[in-house]
A = this chain, B = another copy of it.
């Protein structure tokens, strides 16, 4: 049995973290009261472009985050739910699966589906640090420290799937949020993107720029680690010399499975951390 395990979201930063950590665990431990799952499903759009299962999942998720459906409570069973919403069971199942994947619901055969206990951590959708920061209401700024064409070393070539020595665009940026430095990012881009302009990198996230060019990132492989920062890194991040930094190496692939970007980043660990939810399949 190769029960591989699966994760769900990633990467949250907020300098003001922990502030919203109040527990709302008023419920009795064994509580499983069968809340009649309210009809917050009445506005399903059956002709629009949004998939039915997604609409259902959205409404369910909202209700769970609202605690309209309280933590720990049981959901109505699949067949009844399907009947009440006038959708097929596979459709309702797909919606539920989506939330199981997000770690909001748990299913047990023969038992039922329950809302996971415990504080729900806000999901962070992914794209790039720039957009993460925007989304959390901060004001990201970027300083381009370096921007040059040079030959790929072996690690870079391997990651991008190009020959060693091929000319690549090498960009170094410092990312700040509300004036505080958060990350130093080095990105290596294959020849096709060698014309990316320095100025646009100051104003937009890398992934925004790529998306505007019709490139959409579909898969990214990351390695997260730590080490002591170099003198230069510490000075840029405005931390004491020799301090720890959080590091992330990433290779991103587009929808054709082609490597698009390789990056080596380091983060100020007091201002940034990665959040991941693992879900057993």
Q: Which residues of A contact B (CB under 8 A)?
A: 2-10, 12, 21, 23, 25, 29, 58, 71-72, 90, 101-103, 105-106, 108, 114-119, 121, 123, 125-127, 155, 157-159, 161, 216-228, 242-247, 251, 253, 255-259, 267, 269-270, 272-280
Contact = CB atoms under 8 A, between A and B. Distances in A.
A118 B246 contact: no
A21 B158 contact: yes
A127 B1 CA distance: 13
Contacts of A71: 257
A52 B58 CA distance: 30
Copy number in the complex reads 2
Contacts of A228: 243-244
B221 A7 contact: no
**Residue among A220, A225, A267 with max Cβ neighbours from chain B (10 Å):** A225
Nearest to A271: B225
A64 to B, nearest CB: 11
A54 to B, nearest CB: 9
B58 A2 contact: yes
B222 A259 contact: no
B217 A280 contact: yes
Contact of A222 (B58, B272, B277): B277
Given A118-B259, A219-B277, 13 more contacts: A3-B125, A5-B125, A7-B8, A10-B278, A72-B257, A116-B253, A117-B256, A126-B280, A217-B280, A221-B278, A226-B246, A228-B243, A242-B242
Contacts of A155: 21
Nearest to A220: B278
Given A71-B257, A118-B161, A245-B244, A223 B273 contact: yes
A156 to B, nearest CB: 11
Nearest to A160: B118
